[in-house]
Amino acid sequence: MSSVNKVVLAYSGGLDTSVIVRWLQDTYHCEVVTFTADIGQGEEVEPARAKAEALGVKEIYIDDLREEFVRDFVFPMFRANTIYEGEYLLGTSIARPLIAKRLVEIANETGADAISHGATGKGNDQIRFELGAYALKPGIQVIAPWREWDLNSRESLMAYCAERSIPVDFSSASKKSPYSMDANLLHISYEGGVLEDPWCPPEESMWRWSVSPEAAPEVGEELTLTFESGDVVAIDGEPMSPATVLAHLNRVGGAHGIGRLDIVENRYVGMKSRGCYETPGGTILLRAHRAIESLTLDREVAHLKDELMPRYAKLIYNGYWWAPERLMLQAAIDDSQTVVNGDVRLMLYKGNVIVTGRRSADSLFDDAIATFEDDAGKYDQADAEGFIKLNALRLRIAAERGRSVLGGE
């Protein structure tokens, strides 16, 4: 076991990370610095300070990272219209590089020689935290207790607390949700419990941010989102900060049953995992962003972005936010967004996000050319004949050489 003098722990104040504080002290005989991030999870983070103090922690960091999270991580990801495996909006994945960055920054500030996290050895988060940490501080030591200790159940963790007088509210701990949940301003996720059977439907009581589409209002709600360089800067004409935009869209989207998802995804570690997600604001953002791009982006730029997006999504899902290939793709994506400006009007209704209008000073839509009426000579339809013949040339040559496209004939 390597010698560790001081370690920075990503600390929630819950059962698992409270146990980790004492386990690090007992196992590594080191000083522990706790770091608690407010990234919009909807829970008070300040109580973590008293819990850490009760465990003898002297250096305690509690940071409000909501604006940085949305501005520097969520918005850049949405400029790419990012979806993993056709469905997942990467709510958990995109939060991890920010936490890794702050862990390294605090390690530098406090002179710590290690960082630690509470991710298990079965999931993706261990990879995301550690790839980020190594990219930002190559010599950092990482301690992942779930890969070292033998405390492999909730009961063993609670017994550990009782044996060592770790201050934990056992009544609330025993009443904890049967699901493993992760929340931030972009989403809330649910895993475990009955969801471990892919055929078992999620309980309605599980969902926390949204009503079911069936219970949503009978009357829809109209919104207008204003974009500048690919990011939403105002809603219904009211300027808003990035975090305020997402929080607002979460509230109105959840009220209309928008953003629920139930998927089986392929984890980077090799297994399939079933998860349920609520991403109301992100679902609205994605639909609106694609709408404004449809008006402002060149066709081939838009198509190339769509081709690159799955690769970009996989990089984020697998933990490569700080990798040079992601940074290269981001530079190209961001360059494309300089013309993505304007307004998108939406109707939210019973789980649906319906685009009802879009406008932009940078629009490439030319109604004089697209019209079904007289275009006054702006488009010569006779030109289409040569265009079609040139594009058919290779098909005609192949057919003339007897290469059948009908199969078996």
250: left (phi over 0), alpha (psi -120 to 50) or beta: alpha
- Per DSSP (E only), the strands in 153-298 are 180-183, 188-191, 221-228, 231-235, 238-239, 260-266, 272-278
Structure tokens at 99: 């936490």
Structure tokens at 71: 């501005």
Instruction: Round to whole Å and give the CA distance between 400 and 100.
Output: 61
Catalytic residue among 180, 229, 294, 363: 180
Angle, helix 299-318 to helix 280-296, in steps of 10 degrees: 150
261: left (phi over 0), alpha (psi -120 to 50) or beta: beta
C-alpha distances (whole Å) from 321 to each of 270, 289, 317, 324 are 20, 21, 9, 9
Catalytic residue among 66, 79, 96, 274: 96
Active site residue 16: yes
Active site residue 96: yes
Active site residue 38: no
Three-state secondary structure of 215-249: HCCCCCEEEEEEEECCEEEEECCEECCHHHHHHHH
Instruction: Round to whole Å and give the CA distance between 295 and 82.
Output: 19
Contact between 157 and 302 (Cβ < 8 Å): no
Q: Compute φ and ψ for 104, nearest 5 degrees.
A: -65, -40
Q: What share of the chain is helix, strand, coil (3-state, %, to 5)?
A: 45, 20, 35
Catalytic residue among 18, 38, 125, 274: 125
Cβ within 8 Å of residue 289, ≥6 positions away: 78, 79, 81, 227, 230, 340
Active site residues: 16, 96, 125, 180
